[in-house]
C-alpha cells in the first residue's frame, strides 16, 4: 500500500471514529457535570472544577425507584421477547430452509414487509386493542409487538444458516437411530449456533432500545422500560429538565449493550455476514 493511500485510510478511519464517538463522549462528559453548570451554560467539553459533580448523578439515578423499576422491566421484557422470538424463528427458519411447500416465498416476503412496516403507524391501533383486551401497561403488551418486529429478521438470519448446513448430516443422524426432532436439536441447532446467537442479540437490542412502544403502550412504572422512563425524569423546576441526570441514566442504560457487543462482536459479525460469500 502506498504511503498516500495508507495516510488516507488512517485519516478516514479517525474521522469516522470521531464522528461516531463524539456524541457518546459528550453524553459521558455531560453526566459528570452538575445541574447548575448545565443550567448556566458551562462552556467546554470537560466539566470545570466548580461544575464537576463526580459520581453524584449516577448515585442519584441508581437510587431512583422509578429508574430501578425501569431496569427490571427492560431486563425481563427483553429476555422473554428474545427467548420466544429465537425459539419460534428457529423452528420457522428450519421449515423454510428444509421443506418445500406452497407459499414459501410469500411467507418470506410477508415477513420482510412486516419488518419494514412503520412502527408509529401501529401505535394507535395497538393502544385501542390492548386496552380492550386488558393487556395495556403490561409486560405481554410490549413483548408481542417486539416479537412481531424481530421475528422476521431472525427468520431471515437463521434460514441462511440452515441452508448452509449439509442435508446429509441430518440424514446420517437419522440413520444412526436419531429421530427427526433429535437430529434437529442435537445436530442442526448446534451447527447453526452463530445464527441463533445473532438473532438473539438483534432481538434483545430492539427490545432494549425501543422507545415508541414503551412510551405509548404503558402508563405507569409497572411495565415502562428504560428509554420511556428517562423521558419522565423531572427536576425541581419542571421547565428545566435535569440534563445531567438524563445523561447519567442514558450512560447506565447503554452499558449492557456495549458489554454485549464487545464480548460477542465476532459472533455478531459472523451471523450477519453468513451466506454473503459462497465458495
- Across the chain, which has 279 residues, the per-10-residue mean pLDDT values are 79 88 84 74 59 76 86 92 90 82 77 77 88 91 89 82 80 80 81 81 87 89 89 68 82 86 72 51
Give yes or no for a contact between 255 and 271, defined as CB atoms under 8 angstroms apart: no
Which single residue is written with the C-alpha cell 463522549?
25
Q: Nearest 5 degrees, angle CA 218-CA 241-CA 253?
A: 55
* Nearest residue to 57 via CA among 28, 32, 27, 78: 32
What b-and-e string marks burial along 153-171, b requiring 16 or more CB atoms within 10 Å of the CB? bbbbbbbbbbeebeeeebe
User: So what's the pLDDT on residue 76?
Assistant: 93
CA 9 – CA 5 distance, rounded (Å):
6
pTM: 0.81
* 136 contact partners, CB below 8 Å, separation of at least 6: 127, 130, 217, 218, 219
Distances (CA, A) of 167 to 163, 172, 173: 9, 9, 10
pLDDT for 142: 92
Q: What is the pLDDT of residue 136?
A: 92
Residues 211 and 123: their CA atoms lie apart, in Å, by 11
Instruction: For the beta carbon of residue 91, count every other beta carbon within 10 angstroms.
Output: 13
Residue-level pLDDT at 239: 63
Distance CA 183, CA 170 (A): 6
Domains of the chain: 64-232 (1.10.3720.10)
pLDDT at 279: 41
Question: How far is 195 from 257, CA to CA, in rounded Å?
Answer: 19
Q: How far is CA 204 from CA 28, 30, 192, 279, in A?
A: 24, 27, 18, 32
The C-alpha atoms of residue 80 and residue 235 are separated, in whole angstroms, by: 33
Instruction: Give backbone dihedrals phi and psi of 52, rounded to 5 degrees, phi first.
Output: -85, 120
Per-residue confidence (pLDDT) for residue 264, from 0 to 100: 74
Q: Give pLDDT, residue 139.
A: 92
Task: Give the pLDDT confidence score for residue 277 in this predicted structure.
Answer: 43
Cα 180 to Cα 111: distance, rounded to the nearest angstrom: 26
- Residues 259, 180 contacting (CB under 8 angstroms): no
Amino acid at each position: 500500500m502506498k504511503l498516500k493511500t495508507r495516510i488516507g485510510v488512517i485519516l478516514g478511519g479517525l474521522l469516522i471514529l470521531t464522528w461516531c464517538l463524539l456524541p457518546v463522549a459528550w453524553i459521558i462528559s455531560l453526566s459528570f457535570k452538575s445541574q447548575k453548570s448545565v443550567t448556566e451554560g458551562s462552556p467546554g467539553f470537560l466539566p470545570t472544577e466548580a461544575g464537576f459533580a463526580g459520581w453524584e448523578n449516577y448515585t442519584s439515578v441508581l437510587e431512583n425507584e422509578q429508574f430501578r423499576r425501569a431496569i427490571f422491566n427492560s431486563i425481563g421484557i427483553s429476555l422473554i421477547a428474545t427467548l420466544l422470538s429465537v425459539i419460534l424463528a428457529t423452528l420457522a427458519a428450519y421449515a423454510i430452509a428444509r421443506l418445500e411447500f406452497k407459499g414459501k416465498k410469500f411467507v418470506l416476503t410477508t415477513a420482510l414487509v412486516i419488518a419494514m412496516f412503520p412502527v408509529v403507524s401501529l401505535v394507535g391501533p395497538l393502544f385501542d386493542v390492548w386496552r380492550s383486551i386488558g393487556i395495556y401497561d403490561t409486560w405481554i403488551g410490549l413483548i408481542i409487538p417486539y416479537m412481531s418486529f424481530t421475528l422476521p429478521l431472525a427468520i431471515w438470519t437463521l434460514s441462511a444458516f440452515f441452508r448452509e448446513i449439509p442435508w446429509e448430516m441430518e440424514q446420517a443422524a437419522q440413520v444412526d437411530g436419531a429421530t427427526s426432532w433429535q437430529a434437529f436439536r442435537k445436530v442442526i441447532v448446534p451447527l447453526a449456533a452463530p445464527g441463533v446467537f445473532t438473532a438473539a442479540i438483534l432481538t434483545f437490542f430492539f427490545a432494549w432500545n425501543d422507545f415508541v412502544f414503551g412510551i405509548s403502550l404503558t402508563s405507569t412504572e409497572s411495565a415502562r422500560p428504560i428509554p420511556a422512563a428517562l423521558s419522565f425524569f423531572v427536576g425541581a423546576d419542571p421547565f428545566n429538565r435535569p440534563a445531567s441526570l438524563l445523561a447519567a441514566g442514558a450512560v447506565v442504560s447503554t452499558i449492557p449493550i456495549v458489554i454485549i457487543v464487545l464480548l460477542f462482536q465476532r459472533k455478531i459479525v459472523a451471523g450477519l455476514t453468513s451466506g454473503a460469500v459462497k465458495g
